[in-house]
Structure 1
Amino acid sequence: MTLLAACALPRSGPSKNEIYSGAVEKGGNAHVIYVNDHVNRATNFVPSYGFSNSFRSAGAVGADEIRAGDVLGLSIWENVDDGLLTSLGSSSTNLQEIQVDSDGYIFVPYAGRVRAAGNTPDRLRQIITERLSSQTPDPQVTVARVAGDGATVSVMGKVGAQGVYPIERPTRTLSAMLARAGGVAIEPEIAVVTVKRGNDQGKVWLTDLYKGQNDIALRPGDIVLVEEDQRSFTALGALGGQTRVPLGNEVISAVEGVAMVGGLDSNLADPTGVFVLRDEPESVASRVLGKSVFGSQRMAYVLDLTRPNGIFLAREFMIRDGDTVYVTEAPYVQWRKRLQSITGTAVSADSLTSIGN
């Protein structure tokens, strides 16, 4: 019974040898790779956020262009006492809140159905004036946009005031629209802004929004979503803590990742068995392995911190979203647990040294 108990000792995960036994060379389905300078160069990229050329090249919405859904106000003056539209004793009439229909047209009495969408208010004024001039002498027309509901953007997520906002002269760009919505309601360092436009979408760190060409022009129908970045890695094994760790917008090395959870557990950890487990995309896996592969590959990168340059290599190995950082237990830990299960007493490292001597 004692021997059976010793075979089922508690531990934080697989041993180093058990991970090695799952290597492709031994019939497993994971590539176990010792990290060196070549591996660091081959894997040293961090998928970045940013907008595509189609987003960056889109022009700003013209503030004067009328669109379907806009609400217009018309005023018409006639140079006669009893005009077509004016009442007796009045020289003008006001047609307020005329909405441009989904096809882009409005109806004006005696002028008929007039194409409004795509025209500026001044051009629409000329068209209406021309149509009325054949029926009333020297009409004078003004056209003004009452509301720009046809060119709107939806702003959602972690902002001060979610809502649907018109694209106006001060809010033609992404940064200006976010300010119009009350700014972001989370820490800027972890805020990601996503813009959905039709079937396409792009995202950018809020802190990068104001750099270069990231502050894109908005288009009607855009959806802007502000949320906390969800990228993270998982820390397991003989570490100071086992948890899910947010990456934020920082570039984190393996050394920093281990330090973020309290470092190696000095009573348990094997510094020769620090593993970074990930599914590597085909292009990166091919560079690491030096041969063509098909599809993503399971990779178990080994960092041996006891080697002369082990810590330097770990400082240059970048952690990516979805990684698992796993540290195996030192071989003597299981030995100590076995002795404890047999003797029923705790065995210290000093005791093990004495036994070994």
Structure 2
Amino acid sequence: MASGLCLALAACVPARYAAVAPAEEEQAARELEAFNETLALMAARSDAPGDYRIGPEDLLEVTLFDIEDTSGEPRMIPARVSNSGYITLPYVGKIRAQGMTPLELEDALKQAFRRYIRDPQITVFVREYRSYRVSVVGYVNQPGVLELKGRKTLLEALAMAGGVSDDAGREVRVSREAGGQVQTILIDLDRLARDGDMSLNIALLPGDVINVPRAGTFFVEGEVNKPGAYPLIEKTTVTQALATAGGPDFKLAKIGGITLFRKKENGERVAIPVDLEAIRSGRADDFLVAEDDVILVPLSGAKYFVDRVMGRLGFGFTAPL
């Protein structure tokens, strides 16, 4: 439907508007490169080992400062976490370590050793991390399965996958199994990378699937300088969509007759009038464009334009009230 729509509308506009200038393509490429550089830089700064949760097969180094070895130095004990999540230490026996941070395990060990030492001084260091796999699929430059060790975050995985591609959307889906059910976490990349909301830079778990979907598409047709289909990469308002298409051709366009056609769930399109003057003066909201929206800018004095175009497309629409 989308491709047919674009072809039908293309017949109604001058051919000179069809091409996008190479300079603008270069600008888009520079913006994408800058976005991916931001992802990589934030990934490099995101590592926080203190937040790492210990898991099976991790090799820990437990230092007991109150118990000396034969050389008189604090005793260092290597402890491999078992598949059931426990480590075994002298005096206290089996201690659960899985799911704890190193600092949390230190507190648990101090509590256990207080039966033998008044004020035990203990440190826990992760000497060797277990490995696990996550998958990165969709519109990234190097999709595939990543072999990870230690605490890794969403940004680090995206950076390892070469960043997002030029037609990638800005909402990432992370799917993971939790309690026997698949949970999907939606992450707004613009809030994360551009606004710096690091709460969205979630830590990854074994088996996570990171899916970067393709950006949706919207259409701007009629008397604009660059009519055609455009990727809906990020949140875009009506005025931003018109600007993306080079703006209306003020010599030919009927500014007061701009209409946005939006598809409803039943497939019917509803016509929404766009009052640019009201938006610019603050009397109307500059609302967001949705996937598959069509913005039509008619010829000045040619009221039949919209009806003619929509009739050629062969689908019904609901006129604005």
TM-score, normalised with respect to structure 2: 0.46
Query: Max radius of gyration: which structure?
Result: 1
Larger RCO: Structure 1 or Structure 2 (Cα < 8 Å, ≥ 6 residues apart)?
1
- TM (norm. structure 1) is 0.43
